Amino acid sequence: MTDKFQSIEELVNSETTLSHALLFMREHRYWSETTFDSYQYDVKLFETYLVQQELAPTLDSGQHLSLVHKWIVHQKENDVAYKTIMRRVAALSSLYTFYKDLGIVKTNAFKASSVPGEHSEAHSRALDMDDLKKVYKATEALKKEGVYIDIPIKLLIFTGLRNHAITKLKVGNIKWDEQLLIYNEKVKNSKNKYQLLPLPPKFFTELRNYVDRMKLTNEESLCYGIKGYPLRNKQLNALVNKINHYLNWSGEERITPHGFRYTIATLLDERGLSVETVKYLLGHSSTDNVHAYLRKHERKIQQIKDQLTKIEEELEESLHEQEGKENPNNHMEDLQQNKNGLNESLPFSEEVVIQLSKSNPKLLEKILMEHYRK
């Protein structure tokens, strides 16, 4: 390390305030007064936000993707113009790039963050784990009503893929031996997007059973709408709105397909994955073949899979908790345990009791309570 870099470390470290870090950075940039004033204004705004979040306004505090995402959402909610938010994110990204290159900070969360488009649909919130559990339960409950949307919804949850990517997936995109999903699509006027996405074990098994049950070939679409046709962008919005309707989410509570992308990025960031690893999940360009790509990103893929498995386990546990609360067998077990003390002259047959215990256990409980109260 050169003497110049040593002097930088003596003057600036991860606990340095953003304003002081900007002053030092200014000495190494050919900025006009107007440019510096603009940077300084944007940095002070972010410092103020950090203080409002009860965080120190330091370089270290601004390294978390979830925090930067919340800051962007905060500005959207306060009707800050799209171009203004873009400028502020670019200013902070420039600051963090400078100090990341010097080794003073480890990540640049601003570079990995995106700002909802100027003409895009209303910005969706990122769900916390409790709300994600509600979505997970809703997909299972809707299946009982004959609405099968669990495959595309779980793909949204676990991959963070965009609308157009989900709708373009075919069965052949699944790499069965490695339990990976391949996304390899040429985007018009853009570089080739190529990803190997790990899938959690239970969902991967569900996918295999689903493909076998539907007898789908490699060239057929992986996701279908409610009416049984291959999924398209607007239909994916309709599927997510089924969740919103079931959970009575409206206004700011609503989730959009893109909201799941924010959600998985935020959850993985909060669980300690690096910004670079989270950014990998969200996609980037590559010209590698499958095997070279897998070797290059094996560590990131394994880290993501480990965390997705833990998230899936938590979601599955929430289903079992719900089953324990609503399992009609619980009512029958209680009935059997107290059978000796009950009046056997029931107002209806044992067959009716069993039927009610399955179809409407709460009604059965109410009827029995009224009956034995007499």
Distance in angstroms (rounded) separating the CA atoms of residues 276 and 176: 26
Give the number of other Cβ atoms within 10 Å of residue 364's Cβ: 21
Q: Is residue 118 part of a domain?
A: no
Q: What is the 3-state secondary structure (H, E, C) of 216-236?
A: CCCCCECCECCCCCECCHHHH
Segment 67-117, tens digit of pLDDT = 888 898 888 878 787 888 888 998 999 999 899 888 898 888 888 776 655
Same domain assignment for residues 161 and 69? no
Q: Is residue 237 part of a domain?
A: yes
Q: Give the CATH number for residue 143.
A: 1.10.443.10
Segment 311-347, tens digit of pLDDT = 999 999 998 875 545 454 444 444 444 444 444 445 5
Same domain assignment for residues 153 and 212? yes
Write down the pLDDT at residue 65: 83
Q: Give the CATH number for residue 35.
A: 1.10.150
Domain total in the chain: 3
Q: Is residue 117 part of a domain?
A: no
Among 16-30, 123-137, 277-291, 311-325, where is mean pLDDT lowest? Answer: 277-291
Q: Is residue 252 part of a domain?
A: yes
User: Who has greater pLDDT, 272 or 297?
Assistant: 272
Distance in angstroms (rounded) separating the CA atoms of residues 263 and 255: 10
Same domain assignment for residues 304 and 259? yes
Helical segments of the chain, H only? 3-11, 18-26, 33-52, 65-77, 82-101, 109-112, 129-144, 150-159, 163-168, 201-214, 233-246, 257-270, 275-282, 290-296, 298-326, 328-337, 350-359, 361-373
Domain enclosing residue 278, as ranges: 129-325
Same domain assignment for residues 295 and 356? no
Residue at a domain's end among 57, 80, 112: 112
Segment 179-210, tens digit of pLDDT = 899 887 655 545 556 778 899 999 999 999 99
The token duo for 374 is 């007499």
Contact between 109 and 67 (Cβ < 8 Å): yes
Q: Is residue 234 part of a domain?
A: yes
Instruction: Give 20's pLDDT tier (boundaries 50, 70, 90).
Output: very high
Same domain assignment for residues 149 and 224? yes
Q: Is residue 121 part of a domain?
A: no
Q: Is residue 29 part of a domain?
A: yes
The closest alpha carbon to 163, from 240, 216, 100, belongs to 240
